[in-house]
């Protein structure tokens, strides 16, 4: 998980800890390569994109992350998204998105959609 301590995603840390194998909070995307090299058990990267100065900067950084680590499912979250989106519309940089603040049901649905959509992304990538 990448977020600031002021993110509403922090409200879900204890709940997530009881449901996932390993939850790590990273300071920014620069820490992801080191984390993924050491620990392949963390299957989803959850990023509060409000840490970026603009949406365009966030998309650019996530697109680079996707290009360098295509096997890593990515779910984004932001206060500025209009709604949750569990479709593959943003698949070039994320597998699902959440509007913050988010409830636990939507978070769980988003995690499920992230894994499902990522399978679709990887299938399309393999056929390219």
Q: What is the DSSP string of the chain?
A: -B--TTSGGGGGHHHHHTTSS----BSSGGGHHHHHHH-TT---EEEEGGGSSSHHHHHHHHHHHHHH-TTS-EEEEETTSSS-B-SSTTTTT-SEEEESS--HHHHHHHHHHHHHHHHHHHHHHHH-
pLDDT range class, residue 107, cuts 50, 70, 90: very high
Please confirm whether the linkage preceding 117 is cis (ω < 30° from 0). Answer: no
Q: How large is the average pLDDT for residues 109-117?
A: 95
Closest CA to 103 of 2, 25, 15: 15
pLDDT range class, residue 35, cuts 50, 70, 90: low
This prediction has a pTM of 0.88
Check: CATH 2.60.40 for 8-27+42-127?
no
Tell me the per-residue pLDDT of 39-87, one tens digit each, with 9 for 90 and over. 655 578 999 999 999 999 999 999 999 998 898 999 999 999 999 999 9
Closest CA to 48 of 69, 23, 68, 74: 74
Q: How many Å apart are CA 25 and CA 13, to the nearest integer?
A: 9
Where do the structural domains in the chain lie, given as residue ranges? 8-27+42-127
């Amino acid at each position: 998980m990448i977020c600031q301590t002021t993110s509403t995603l922090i409200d879900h840390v204890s709940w997530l800890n009881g449901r996932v194998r390993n939850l790590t909070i990273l300071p920014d995307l620069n820490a992801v390569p080191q984390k993924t090299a050491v620990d392949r058990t963390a299957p989803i990267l959850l990023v509060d994109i409000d840490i970026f100065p603009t949406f365009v900067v966030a998309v650019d950084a996530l697109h680079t992350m996707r290009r360098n680590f295509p096997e890593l499912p990515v779910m984004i979250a932001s206060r500025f998204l209009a709604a949750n989106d569990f479709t593959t519309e943003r698949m070039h940089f994320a597998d699902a998105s959440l509007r913050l603040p988010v409830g636990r049901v939507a978070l769980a649905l988003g995690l499920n959609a992230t894994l499902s959509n990522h399978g679709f992304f990887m299938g399309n990538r393999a056929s390219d």
